[in-house]
């Protein structure tokens, strides 16, 4: 007797909700690219969020959200851990518990120190308050410089979790500087950080992923003007 067996392979649903200018969804996009996972991107207007975004992230109502076969995962660093556990190829984290802890430390440092201080203390401030923000930011960047000394990436030779978490710096730092009208980092004072930013920006997973410069600059200028209580000129 001849029995014909047909199998229906259900394609995996992998969707990333992002916005045009947010740095956080980029981490998710880079991680999926690194792992060779196919995905769709849904670009949200954060001034007019879609019902789907609100359904998938009812608590924070933010991007990124990763939707994997109907399950929604929020918070970019949590999403990276989910991606790492779900798709084992091309690990984002090393095996060694100590090295793993270090990668997670720098990822956390990215959000709690580097991003927080540069945005709230430098980009959105002026005068005395900004001077304090600059001091804090320089200290944070100095820590990165020291950690990166003699290394290509945070974990060594390959891009890992800490690089994905801090990768926004490779594009946004320069634009933050331009919008705030100052210079924080140069080749002479931060040779390792500058080399790492170039290395990261040149990685194939990063190509073509940055937001449009004009769009991002415009958004940051508006945020700065609003924060300083000035009218935005259009
Ligand atoms: N800690 C979050 C931050 C995400 C975040 O702040 N997303 C912003 C865009 S930069 C957002 O969606 N904001 C919309 C809102 O606050 O209404 C993560 O890492 O995912």
- State the pLDDT at residue 70: 97
What would the pLDDT profile of 97-149 be if each residue is shown by its tens digit?
Answer: 999 999 999 999 999 999 999 999 999 999 999 999 999 999 999 999 999 99
**What is the spatial distance between Cα 172 and Cα 12, in angstroms, rounded to a whole number?**
32
**Minimal-distance CA residue to ligand 1 atom 6:** 62
DSSP secondary-structure letter at 18?
A: E
> Which residue out of 26, 42, 60 has the highest number of ligand 1 atoms within 8 Å of its CB and is therefore the one to mutate?
60
- The residue among 36, 55, 86 that closes a domain is 86
- State the pLDDT at residue 8: 43
Residue pair 130/117 in contact (Cβ under 8 Å)? The answer is no
Task: Please list the pLDDT of the chain residue by residue as tens digits (234 residues).
Answer: 444 444 444 589 999 999 999 999 999 999 999 999 999 999 999 999 999 999 999 999 999 999 999 999 999 999 999 999 999 999 999 999 999 999 999 999 999 999 999 999 999 999 999 999 999 999 999 999 999 999 999 999 999 999 999 999 999 999 999 999 999 999 999 999 999 999 999 999 999 999 999 999 999 999 999 999 986 654
- The residue among 32, 53, 86 that closes a domain is 86
The parent domain of residue 30 ranges over: 14-86
Is residue 5 situated within a structural domain?
A: no
CA of 208 to the centre of ligand 1 (A): 21
CA of 62 to the centre of ligand 1 (A): 4
**What is the spatial distance between Cα 28 and Cα 76, in angstroms, rounded to a whole number?**
7
Cα of first residue to Cα of last residue in the chain, in angstroms, is 76
Does ligand 1 lie within 6 Å of residue 130's CB atom? Answer: no
CATH of the domain at 63: 3.40.30.10
Residues 217 and 152 in one domain: yes
Residues 81 and 104 in one domain: no
Count how many Cα atoms sit within 13 Å of the Cα of residue 25 in the half-sphere of its side chain: 23
Residues 168 and 204 in one domain: yes
Is residue 122 situated within a structural domain?
A: yes
In 3D space, the residue among 96, 91, 71, 69 whose CA is nearest the CA of residue 80 turns out to be 91
**What is the spatial distance between Cα 139 and Cα 159, in angstroms, rounded to a whole number?**
24
CATH of the domain at 221: 1.20.1050.10
Q: How many of the other CB atoms lie within 10 Å of CB of 61?
A: 14
- Total number of domains in the chain: 2
Residues 105 and 204 in one domain: yes
Does ligand 1 lie within 6 Å of residue 76's CB atom? Answer: yes
Residues 108 and 221 in one domain: yes
Is residue 54 situated within a structural domain?
A: yes
pTM of the model: 0.94
Is residue 61 situated within a structural domain?
A: yes
Does ligand 1 lie within 6 Å of residue 53's CB atom? Answer: no
Residue pair 177/184 in contact (Cβ under 8 Å)? The answer is yes
**What is the spatial distance between Cα 204 and Cα 61, in angstroms, rounded to a whole number?**
30
């Amino acid at each position: 007797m001849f029995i014909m067996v047909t199998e229906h392979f259900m394609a995996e649903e992998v969707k990333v909700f992002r916005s045009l200018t947010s740095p956080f969804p980029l981490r998710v996009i880079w991680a999926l690219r690194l792992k060779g996972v196919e995905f769709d991107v849904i670009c949200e207007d954060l001034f007019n969020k879609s019902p789907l975004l609100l359904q998938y992230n009812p608590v924070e109502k933010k991007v990124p959200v990763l939707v994997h076969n109907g399950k929604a995962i929020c918070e970019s660093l949590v999403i990276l851990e989910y991606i790492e556990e779900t798709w084992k190829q091309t690990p984002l984290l090393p095996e060694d518990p100590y090295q793993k802890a270090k990668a997670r430390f720098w990822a956390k440092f990215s959000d709690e120190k580097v991003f927080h201080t540069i945005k709230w203390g430098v980009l959105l401030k002026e005068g005395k308050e900004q001077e304090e923000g600059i001091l804090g930011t320089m200290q944070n960047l100095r820590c990165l410089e020291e950690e990166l000394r003699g290394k290509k990436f945070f974990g060594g030779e390959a891009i890992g979790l800490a690089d994905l978490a801090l990768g926004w710096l490779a594009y946004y730092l320069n634009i933050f500087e331009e919008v705030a009208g100052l210079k924080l980092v140069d080749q002479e004072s931060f040779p390792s950080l500058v080399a790492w930013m170039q290395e990261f920006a040149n990685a194939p997973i990063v190509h073509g992923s940055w937001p449009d410069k004009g769009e991002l600059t415009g958004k940051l200028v508006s945020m700065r003007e609003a924060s300083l209580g000035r009218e935005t000129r259009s």
